[in-house]
Amino acid sequence: MNIRIMFIMMLLAGLTACATSPTGRSQLIFMPDDQIDAMGLQAFDNLKSEKQISRQTGNNQFVRCVADAITAEVGGNWEVVVFEDETLNAFALPGNKIGVHTGLLNLVDNQDQLASVIGHEVGHVLAKHSNERMSQKLGTQMGMSLVSAVAAPQTAMGQTAVSLLGVGAQYGVIMPFSRLHESEADTIGIELMSKAGFDPRESVTLWYKMAQASQGAQPPEFLSTHPSHATRIEDLQALMPKSLDIMQQAHAVGKRPRCTK
């Protein structure tokens, strides 16, 4: 394909694929939602076939109880699976899929701490972060295909190509947005858990526990796809007054989850 035509197509995609996240942030999204959902469904099916699924009744009831309260705030039918895996992890995928590792269940003390994680992961789905990252990846690949233009920065096309690449595809494009997605999911997640009647203060407690569990193994924030624990805690604390008000409103209308670990 002619490089100029490719560049024009990329610009047109940017002009016609603007979206707005739940926090009001502008996004570049141009992949069909049903295609992203299909990819999420396939990925979840692959995980279920490859990883051991927990059959422990208590764990499943606990996770299902918390997840049901969170997803009731967003609607839809969500599949929830507990995986026998000692890593501290949980995730949500497009297509309404939630996975929780038993390692995370061993770390959390109560329903509110688990709700902060599940709310965060559902936040990724609501904000269409997978679609945004996929669209960004496609855009990056197209930018990388402009290598001949980058080699001639004195031309108009070359100057545009260098500008698109910024300081590099990895640190200038992908990494900062990944940290942004994590922070945005925190904002959405704490609001979701509060709307469901969970105590948002436990989200801070959870990240103190995560920081302790990591034992200094976390890489520097600049090179990480996640905010540092200290940054995350600070941001959550800033959201606490509003979140507590939301929780009190939820309690006033009878939303008081009772999920027992």
- Inter-residue contact 101 to 85 (CB < 8 Å): yes
Active-site position among 50, 73, 121, 182: 121
In a domain, 159, yes or no: yes
In a domain, 76, yes or no: yes
Residue 134 DSSP class: H
Question: Tens digits of per-residue pLDDT, 31-87?
Answer: 778 877 877 888 788 888 888 999 999 999 999 999 999 999 999 999 999 999 998
Q: Name the residue type at position 213.
A: A
Host domain of residue 189 = 20-252
Residues of the chain with pLDDT > 70, as a percent, come to 72
Beta strand 18-20 with 26-28: parallel, antiparallel or unpaired? antiparallel
Q: How confident is the model at residue 189 (pLDDT cuts 50, 70, 90)?
A: very high
Does residue 205 carry a pLDDT above 80? yes
Does residue 121 carry a pLDDT above 70? yes
Question: Tens digits of per-residue pLDDT, 223-236?
Answer: 444 567 788 889 99
In a domain, 9, yes or no: no
What pLDDT does 30 receive? Answer: 73
In a domain, 152, yes or no: yes
3-class SS of residue 86: coil
Number of domains in the chain: 1
In a domain, 260, yes or no: no
Residue 121 a catalytic site member: yes
3-class SS of residue 28: strand
CA distance linking residue 193 with residue 115, whole number of Å: 6
In a domain, 258, yes or no: no
In a domain, 223, yes or no: yes
Who contacts 244 (Cβ-Cβ below 8 Å, separation ≥6)? 194, 200, 201
Does residue 206 carry a pLDDT above 90? yes
In a domain, 59, yes or no: yes
CA distance linking residue 192 with residue 186, whole number of Å: 10
- Inter-residue contact 104 to 96 (CB < 8 Å): no
Main-chain dihedrals φ then ψ at residue 109, nearest 5 degrees: -95, -25
